Amino acid sequence: MIKITFIEHGGTPHTIDIPEGMSLMQAAVNHNIPGIDADCGGSMTCGTCRVCIPPDAQGIAGEQSSLEQQMLEFSGLGGGGIRLSCQLIAKAEFNGLQLQIPEAQL
């Protein structure tokens, strides 16, 4: 299991165990993490599962797909380490990762 901490905008942390290969969005939904709405269920059409990856961890997250990049740019939410958690698949390198949840989703 991989430990990931989701930090609410107000600072409340939620550390959960995620099996390798599961999307971080699905794990957050399964654990009722506040602030991860996931309205589209992971089809990358809503932008309500956004998280901010700290600069020192952005390299392990990999590159955004062109579709993820377009979704974030279209909604005006790109840049600054912002990613869609539905597009982040848990892997061993993510163990200990801390993700900031924005104040509000779309």
Tally of domains in the chain: 1
What's the pTM? 0.91
- Which domain range does residue 90 map to? 1-6+35-106
Q: What is the mean pLDDT of the chain?
A: 92
pLDDT at 20: 97
Asked, for residue 12, whether it belongs to a domain, the answer is no
What CATH number does the domain containing 41 carry?
A: 3.10.20.30
pLDDT at 45: 85
pLDDT at 80: 74
10 Å Cβ neighbour count for 4? 25
φ and ψ of 50, to 5 deg: -65, 145
Residue range 34-53, pLDDT digits in tens? 999 999 899 888 889 999 99
Asked, for residue 63, whether it belongs to a domain, the answer is yes
Q: Which residues of the chain have pLDDT under 50?
A: none
Asked, for residue 54, whether it belongs to a domain, the answer is yes
HSE, CB side, 13 Å, CA atoms: give it for residue 67. 7
Asked, for residue 50, whether it belongs to a domain, the answer is yes
pLDDT at 73: 85
Type of residue found at 84: L
